[in-house]
Amino acid sequence: MRIWVPMDSAAKAVGADEVAETIAREAASRGIDVRIIRNGSRGMIWLEPLVEIDRGDGRVGYGPVAPEDVAALLDGKLESLGPVEAIPFFARQTRLTFARCGLTDPLDYDDYQAHGGLAGLRRVIAMSQEEIVQEVTASGLRGRGGAGFPTGIKWKTVMQAEAMQKYIVCNADEGDSGTFADRMIMEGDPFTLIEGMAIAGIGVGATRGYVYLRSEYPDAIRAMNAAVGIARRRGLLGPSVLGSDHAFEMEIRVGAGAYVCGEETSLLNSLEGKRGVVRAKPPLPALEGFLGKPTVVNNVITLATIPVIFEKGADHYAGFGHNRSRGTATLQIAGNVKRGGLFEAGFGLTLGEVVNDVAGGTASGRPVKAVQVGGPLGAYLHEGQFDTRMGYEEFDAEGGLIGHAGLVVFDDSADMLRMARFAMEFCAIESCGKCTPCRIGAVRGVETIDRIAAGDPAAAELLTDLCETMKDGSLCALGGFTPFPVMSALRHFPDDFATRKEAAE
Amino acid sequence: MHHDAQAPTENEIRAVAAPLASLEGPLLPMLHAVQHEYGCVPEAAVPVLADLLNLSRAEVHGVVSFYHDFRKAPAGKHILRLCRAEACQSMGGQALAEATLARLGIGWHDTTANGAVTVEPVYCLGLCACAPAAMLDDRVVARLDAARLDRLLAEAGA
């Protein structure tokens, strides 16, 4: 009997290790022959620890399983969720980037290949650089870190640049609250990221790669380091990638707790061993990136999507999506939701469908008040905006951003003035200090919101003006986008900014 | 990780950092290695790293002081990181953090009087669909409530 217990850190954080240990112990004491496989997470986090058992007729799910449920589980007396892939949350997804996540043992290289792994890279080895870059362009893939820049165009710039050394840098500094897709894929299917980076390297002529991985993810760091070691031993990495004439080697580098290092130019400075301050652009990192050399900087999900594009073809990938947002969005549904987790589907679902149908509304059972989309720099949207479709341009038109596609849901107990203040406070804590609108503006922003809270009638106008300055004058998205959550809270939830003033009157 | 009261010597620090000198962009890996060894980046490490990398002391100090992770002095025996970010706030994380700090009688970044636990804020652990979340040393915990956090703190000796 095979039993799967996820090793994803979200599952571990709610007791998966204890469940796995208990299963091993109970099975031994009953003399049952079980093989426990530590898989990635299927992404149905509200069901974690989600245990799967194959008794010969497919993988059946149980969850959330507590250690005290294990006896009943092994006796076949625990109520099941049915076949895992038939659970509606899972069944309605289009799993491309996350096709293997939760299905396989993340560090089993043979299992990886048995489920489509390396098919993309094998195809790439027979292609020219121009053909590789053209395939990425044709897929319509855009930067999944949030900026949405067309990946093929970035790769083309690096491919055409002349240099002795070029680099592939993977941005795994996933600091946005409400996002965990990078973490899940690194823990649940790390070879796909390695394969994606190798393809990028071959495509643009780069022989070295780095993953800049945040220190807050110790489990992902362990998984990636282990996977890189295996990939090296098995010939996916090294002087001859899968026996070809291409060389590609990579390393995992650990960040040091600075949110701003998720911005690509501060990331490059940090990787070089400097303070993680933002660089002015131009020069573009594609031309002068890591150590001044042409560098592809892509998010984890962007790179982890590359293998499936080559496995199934650009047209297959581009066949999903909506308007200019092609392919799938790896939505991360988080916060106060009944069914939270990773939900991969073609772009184009409405925000309301995601929050109400997929996620089932709030965990608390209270009405939804606001949804912050795109991390701490994303706008707070209200129910009147629930017909907004998941897409880069669509969120832009609503004064927000889809960002890394994380959604944080708040119920009606949320105080939006406090959330606006937090956005400014966070910006002040994490500002790299290079530009004044961000460094000083965020501090003044906190003070100005405190004045609104104290009933100062002139302060809201001042806050609006300050946000304009930050938006127009900041060097990067930290100072430039902090006005999104602040101004959306002020505009959409005026009652939260008025109550104290009225109470004072 | 050991936290000897005795400060490391220049040679000891050099022995920890020097093997990393051939990396591209070696300073952060060196700082992590030093902190892993001594529980902090002691002041004495700055001139050693500056010398190894042909940088000024000011440059090295600038890097050390930029990043939240690097400590000037060792933390308590355990580090509890409580997530303060939005997803955890949506599930009552702020009230939980405030109550915890009040019960321990300390503020953010402080260590309990018995030296057992240092409490640090963290902005997202990627456990946003099972909030509120925390991390005790390298161990992640989520769906936290006061009782679960109490057990965790008791385990850590706070």
The per-residue pLDDT for range A154-195, each reduced to its tens digit, is: 999 999 999 999 999 999 999 999 999 999 999 999 999 999
* Beta bridge partner(s), residue A2: A35, A54
Q: What is the model's pLDDT at position B1?
A: 46
Q: Which helix (H) or strand (E) holds A498?
A: helix A494-504
Q: Which residues of B touch A (CB under 8 A)?
A: 23-29, 31-32, 53, 62-63, 66-70, 81, 85-91, 122-131, 133, 135, 138-143
How many C-beta neighbours within 10 Å does residue A52 have? 25
The answer to whether residue A261 scores a pLDDT higher than 60 is yes
CA dist., res. A150 & res. B144, Å (int):
40
pLDDT digits (tens, 9 = 90+) for B6-45: 789 999 999 999 999 999 999 999 999 999 999 999 999 9
CB contacts, 8 Å: A255 with chain B: 28, 69
Average confidence (pLDDT) over A491-497: 95
Q: Does A291 touch chain B (CB under 8 A)?
A: yes
CA dist., res. A21 & res. B126, Å (int):
24
DSSP secondary structure letter of residue B18: G
CA dist., res. A204 & res. A182, Å (int):
23
CB contacts, 8 Å: B24 with chain A: 208, 272, 290-291
pLDDT digits (tens, 9 = 90+) for A209-239: 999 999 999 999 999 999 999 999 999 999 9
Average confidence (pLDDT) over B68-76: 96
Percent of chain A with pLDDT over 70: 99
Structure tokens at A346: 């073609």
How many C-beta neighbours within 10 Å does residue A456 have? 14
Q: For strands A328-335 and A341-346, give the pairing.
A: antiparallel
Q: Which helix (H) or strand (E) holds A222?
A: helix A218-233
CB contacts, 8 Å: B56 with chain A: none
Q: Is A239 exposed, middle or buried (0-12, 13-18, 19+ CB in 10 A)?
A: exposed
Cβ separation A177–B124 shorter than 8 A:
yes
The single-letter code of the amino acid at A73 is L
pLDDT digits (tens, 9 = 90+) for A20-62: 999 999 999 999 999 999 999 999 999 999 999 999 999 999 9
Q: Does A292 touch chain B (CB under 8 A)?
A: no
Q: Which of A164, A216, A252, A301 has the most B C-beta neighbours within 10 Å, making it the best mutation to test the interface with B? A: A216
Q: What is the model's pLDDT at position B7?
A: 84
Cβ separation B32–A274 shorter than 8 A:
no
Closest in A183, A184, A376 to B85, CB measured: A376
CA dist., res. A225 & res. A439, Å (int):
35
CA dist., res. B51 & res. A431, Å (int):
29
Compute the Cα dihedral for A335, A341, A347, A352 and give only its sign: negative
Closest in A13, A272, A408 to B130, CB measured: A13
Cβ separation A335–B91 shorter than 8 A:
yes
Which residue on chain A is closest to B125 by alpha carbon? Answer: A216
CA of A314, closest CA in chain B: separation in Å?
30
pLDDT digits (tens, 9 = 90+) for A86-143: 999 999 999 999 999 999 999 999 999 999 999 999 999 999 999 999 999 999 999 9
Q: What is the model's pLDDT at position A503?
A: 53
